[in-house]
Chain A
């Protein structure tokens, strides 16, 4: 059987988490929401899964690949312009030749899909919506149907007193392929607002399957925190938590380490490669994501750490969602960016070794300065003799820096020193001064002027500003005849993959190929 997962949403209410990952990739107890959906589909015998992607598509495609890890065949449909929920399915029409199911990639559930399909077949339905009873109808599309399940009407987010039913649509649809004929091709088209009213109007056999199930669309930080805690407490039966279960701890991912002096209160979740150091305390159904370090004496209570995060010594975290240097207080709904990597930070950044590396850069720059000193003297003399201006300082921008605790970032301004002789190799020499005063590294993306920086409008193009700028760039080493677009890709690639040892390799390559400046 085939399934389609709608995974194109941005998830703007979960910013800044969704700035770096699409909503379907947000982890719930250690794995992306969408992976929970894929596993549910696999459990119920689906073997071909399609998904439409739009926002940060490569993150999803890279993670799921061809689906072999889950024993299914997966394929993706990239939408450059959003087609709406129904339009996205229409685009893949040729793949659906029998009964198929549609699920949301950003909602977690333990729905018994087999039972819903049984219901659909038994009623000879052409389209079936899974519904669940809710207390508060104001957050849902409400479905009104008769005793047989045949749908009569819909109500969009009615107030409790105005609601004609308390059965909510949870975004799980079962369709016969002929339903797709009712959707216009290549047009933005929505299930709730367009297709479903049309099905009622045209009297297509259209049923609601009322079920008891756990469901959440993790639509807010509060929901996200709650779902994680509920799963640890045993709700969402059927959902699989990755890792090994321990009666005193909860769940432990591969290579997770806990110091014997750490205090753990069951049940918690600790992700892969994460370390809980001495005297740290983890309690109240907290979830620690992958690759996270909780340092000595830190306390984490009723909180969710997304992953790749360093929590500094003695730091205290309560009722919060943390991702790297961002802390979201779920109760106050405040978002704070912490600039200090020793309090809260990204484990992928090597802060300590960076300061040592910057020191090495300065030493090498000083050596290069000494070696090239005769050139400096000659140019100095020429300047004196001709009274010309050979030494110029050009305003440029470097890496992105956080300017306030609301997470606002700006590019660092500084002056780039150059000679003005017209000979490229010589003109670049004074950049060594920028390295000596710590404004640049030897290796890095070339600094650009703020006008040039403003031209980089795509999200991926701005990644180049993650790293400190340098004299020798990977782009320069790649040859002079590359296109601007290609150059931007190289800058971006460098910024995302740079390591100190990689920089040394680039430096050596530059020295040996004499492409120093």
Chain B
């Protein structure tokens, strides 16, 4: 799994690609923690390139949501592939997260 962070005006986009499993989860949480220390916590996770997620990956998403919330920010998910969306629905996470179809849509939701 690979994470690239893009800093936008009001938000930070995590471009995540590959397999979000136990190894990916650790990496993602580390990156998130670092940004939290810099007090940048309007996060958008771009899931368009994620091809695989398991419970550790889901756990990381929830952990990041909590980290963002504790630091006065929020986490929005953007553009999951239909398979990933199915798993988010299966685990009822679509109720916990705001899921947007595009990154821009998610970014705009922070401006309001």
Chain A residues within 8 Å of B, Cβ to Cβ: 314-318, 327, 329, 332, 334-340, 342-344, 402-406
Q: Is there an interface contact between A336 and B82, defined as CB atoms closer than 8 Å?
A: yes
Q: Is there an interface contact between B52 and A339, defined as CB atoms closer than 8 Å?
A: yes
Per the bound structure, the CA–CA distance linking A420 and B77 in Å amounts to 53
Q: Which residues of A contact B91 (CB under 8 A)?
A: 314-316, 343
Per the bound structure, the CA–CA distance linking A332 and B52 in Å amounts to 19
B84 CB-CB contact with A under 8 Å: yes
Q: Which residues of B contact A342 (CB under 8 A)?
A: 55
> Closest Cβ of chain B: how far from A325's Cβ, in Å?
11
With A339-B52, A340-B55, A405-B53 already in contact, the answer to whether A334 and B82 are too (CB < 8 A) is yes
Residue from B55, B87, B89, B92 in contact with A405 in the complex, judged by beta carbons closer than 8 Å:
B87
Q: Which residues of A contact B87 (CB under 8 A)?
A: 336, 338, 343, 405
Q: Is there an interface contact between A315 and B83, defined as CB atoms closer than 8 Å?
A: no
Interchain Cβ contacts under 8 Å between A and B, 29 examples: A314-B91, A314-B92, A315-B90, A315-B91, A316-B92, A317-B90, A318-B89, A332-B82, A334-B82, A334-B83, A334-B86, A336-B82, A336-B83, A338-B90, A339-B54, A340-B54, A342-B55, A343-B55, A343-B91, A344-B90, A402-B52, A403-B19, A404-B51, A405-B52, A405-B83, A405-B84, A405-B86, A405-B87, A406-B51
**CB < 8 Å A-B pair total:** 55
Q: Which residues of B contact A403 (CB under 8 A)?
A: 19, 51-52
> Closest Cβ of chain A: how far from B54's Cβ, in Å?
4
> Closest Cβ of chain B: how far from A326's Cβ, in Å?
11
Known: A314-B91, A335-B83. 7 other contacts (CB 8 A): A332-B82, A336-B87, A337-B83, A403-B52, A404-B83, A405-B81, A405-B86
Chain B residues within 8 Å of A, Cβ to Cβ: 19, 21, 51-55, 81-84, 86-87, 89-92
Per the bound structure, the CA–CA distance linking A342 and B51 in Å amounts to 19
Q: Which residues of A contact B55 (CB under 8 A)?
A: 340, 342-343
Q: Which residues of B contact A317 (CB under 8 A)?
A: 90
Per the bound structure, the CA–CA distance linking A409 and B48 in Å amounts to 21
Which residue of chain A lies nearest to B56 when distances are taken between CB atoms in the complex?
Answer: A340
Residue from A316, A332, A402, A406 in contact with B90 in the complex, judged by beta carbons closer than 8 Å:
A316
Interface centre among B51, B90, B92 (most CB of A within 10 A): B90
Which residue of chain A lies nearest to B84 when distances are taken between CB atoms in the complex?
Answer: A405
Per the bound structure, the CA–CA distance linking A455 and B55 in Å amounts to 35
Per the bound structure, the CA–CA distance linking A329 and B84 in Å amounts to 13
Per the bound structure, the CA–CA distance linking A150 and B66 in Å amounts to 73
Q: Which residues of B contact A343 (CB under 8 A)?
A: 55, 87, 90-91
Q: Which residues of B contact A338 (CB under 8 A)?
A: 87, 90
Q: Which residues of B contact A314 (CB under 8 A)?
A: 91-92
Per the bound structure, the CA–CA distance linking A315 and B94 in Å amounts to 12
> Closest Cβ of chain B: how far from A397's Cβ, in Å?
19
Q: Which residues of A contact B84 (CB under 8 A)?
A: 405
> Closest Cβ of chain A: how far from B18's Cβ, in Å?
10
> Closest Cβ of chain B: how far from A402's Cβ, in Å?
8
Per the bound structure, the CA–CA distance linking A243 and B82 in Å amounts to 37
Which residue of chain A lies nearest to B50 when distances are taken between CB atoms in the complex?
Answer: A405
Per the bound structure, the CA–CA distance linking A405 and B81 in Å amounts to 10
Q: Which residues of B contact A335 (CB under 8 A)?
A: 83
With A340-B55, A403-B52, A405-B51 already in contact, the answer to whether A316 and B89 are too (CB < 8 A) is yes
